[in-house]
Amino acid sequence: MLPNVLPTEADHVPVLAEEVRAGLAVRPGESVIDATFGAGGHAALLAADLAGSGKLTAIDRDPAARAYFEQLEKRFTVNARLLRGDFGVVLPQLAANGVRADAILLDLGVSSMQVDQPERGFSYAVDAPLDMRMDPSATYSARELVNEGDERELADIFKRYGEERYARQIARAIVTRRHEQPFERTGDLVEVIKAAIPAPARFGEGHPAKRVFQALRIEVNDELDAVERALPAALEMLRPGGRLAVISFHSLEDRIVKQFLRKQEQGCTCPPDFPICICGSEPTMRATPRRAVRPSAAEVARNPRAQSARLRVGTKVG
C-alpha cells in the first residue's frame, strides 16, 4: 500500500495519481525527473515516495511553476532542482550530458494552472486575450497564428491537430473575419467558429470550439514535436530497470507514445520476410502494463478533466 500523501488544496489535482505512483514505483535514494512539473501535484507524491533520500529534478517552461516548486521544497526534505525549459529540449540536453534517472514522468498537454488563469487564453469557455503560450516569453502566440496564417495552413492545423471535421469552413470564416477586424480575444474566435459550422454540430458532443482550440495550442507550443524529441532522450537517460510514465490527453499524443513503446519492445528491425534476424537489435523496453491505464469512474466524477487521460508505462530492459 502506498503512503496516503496528497497534495495541498493549493496544488494541482494530479490525474491518475496512484496509478502513476504504482507505475513509477519510486524508492528512497532514486533519481526522479518530473519533466512537466506544472503546479507540482505529481511531483509532491513522487517526492514523498523518495522519503527524504534521492533526487528530484523538475522541468517546466512556464515561469509560474517556480512558486509551486518553492512550496514543494518547503514541504519535503529532498534534494530538488527546477530547470526552466521545454522538456523536448531539456531532456535531450540532460541525456547528452550523461544525466541518468530511475524514473521519468511526462504529463502532456496544458496544465490546470494555465487553464485556470483566464488571461492565458487557453480556455474557450472564458473570454480572454487570444494567447495560449505555455511560455509567456515566447513571441509566437495564438493571436499571431490566427491573424497571419493563410487559409490552407489554418485548415491543415485544425484537421491534423484537432481532427476537426469542418476545418476548411472554419479557416475560411477566420480569414474573412480578420480582413474586417483582427482577432484579439478568445470570445471573438469562439463566435466565428460557431457561425462557421452547421447548426446541428453546435449542439453535439462537447463545445464546438474545443477541437480548434486544441489544435491552436498544440501548434503554438510545438507539443507533438516535443514528445517525439523527449521519448528517445528519456529512454537514454533511464538506468536498466528504470521506469517511464507518460500521461496523454488526446489520441495524437497517445499514438506517439504507443508506437514508441511498441518499437522499443520489438527490438528486431529486419523486414518480416527475413528468415533470421541480421540486425542484432534487441528490445530496450517493455510496456507495464500492456494497455493504457484509464481513470476510474470515481476519479472522473471527482475531476472531470481526467476523463480523456491515458497512462502508459514502460520499463527499461537490462
Q: Identify the residue whose cell numbers are 499514438.
A: 255
Instruction: Read off the pLDDT of residues 279-297 as tens digits, 9 standing for 90 and up.
Output: 777 899 999 888 999 999 9
- Measured distance CA(235)–CA(232) in Å, rounded: 5
CA dist 5 → 80, 82, 107, 209, 301 (Å): 18, 22, 19, 37, 21
**Which are the contacts of 175, defined by CB distance < 8 A and separation ≥ 6?**
150, 151, 154
- Measured distance CA(66)–CA(223) in Å, rounded: 21
Letter string b/e over residues 6-17, b meaning 16 or more CB atoms within 10 A of that residue's CB = ebeeebbbbbbb
Per-residue pLDDT band at 113 (split at 50, 70, 90): low
Instruction: Read off the pLDDT of residues 214-243 as tens digits, 9 standing for 90 and up.
Output: 999 999 999 999 999 999 999 999 999 999
Instruction: Read off the pLDDT of residues 118-150 as tens digits, 9 standing for 90 and up.
Output: 788 888 888 999 999 999 888 899 999 999 999
The C-alpha cell that represents 34 in the structure block = 518530473
Rg of the chain's alpha carbons, rounded to an integer? 21
- Please calculate the CA angle 290-292-293 and round it to the nearest 5 degrees: 115
pLDDT at 6: 40
CB 183 within 8 A of CB 147: yes
- One-character DSSP codes across 44-110: HHHHHHHTT-SEEEEEES-TTHHHHHHHHHHH--SEEEEEES-HHHHHHHHHHTT--EEEEEEE-S-
Write down the pTM of the prediction: 0.89
| Phi and psi angles of residue 63, each rounded to the nearest 5 degrees, phi first | -60, -20
Q: Identify the residue whose cell numbers are 532514486.
A: 30
Per-residue pLDDT band at 12 (split at 50, 70, 90): low
Q: Bigger pLDDT: 114 or 88?
A: 88
Give yes or no for residue 10 having a pLDDT over 90: no
Give yes or no for residue 1 having a pLDDT over 90: no
Q: Identify the residue whose cell numbers are 524508492.
A: 27
The C-alpha cell that represents 55 in the structure block = 533526487
Angle between helices 41-50 and 17-24 (to 10 degrees): 40
For residue 271, what is the DSSP state?
A: -
Instruction: Read off the pLDDT of residues 83-112 as tens digits, 9 standing for 90 and up.
Output: 999 999 999 999 999 999 999 999 997 776
The C-alpha cell that represents 186 in the structure block = 478568445
Instruction: Read off the pLDDT of residues 197-217 as tens digits, 9 standing for 90 and up.
Output: 998 777 767 789 999 999 999
CB 229 within 8 A of CB 92: yes
Going 251 to 256 to 258 to 259, the CA torsion angle's sign is positive
Domains of the chain: 17-113+223-316 (3.40.50.150), 119-221 (1.10.150.170)
Per-residue pLDDT band at 255 (split at 50, 70, 90): very high
How many helices and strands in the chain, by DSSP H and E? 14, 7
Task: Calculate the average pLDDT of the chain.
Answer: 91
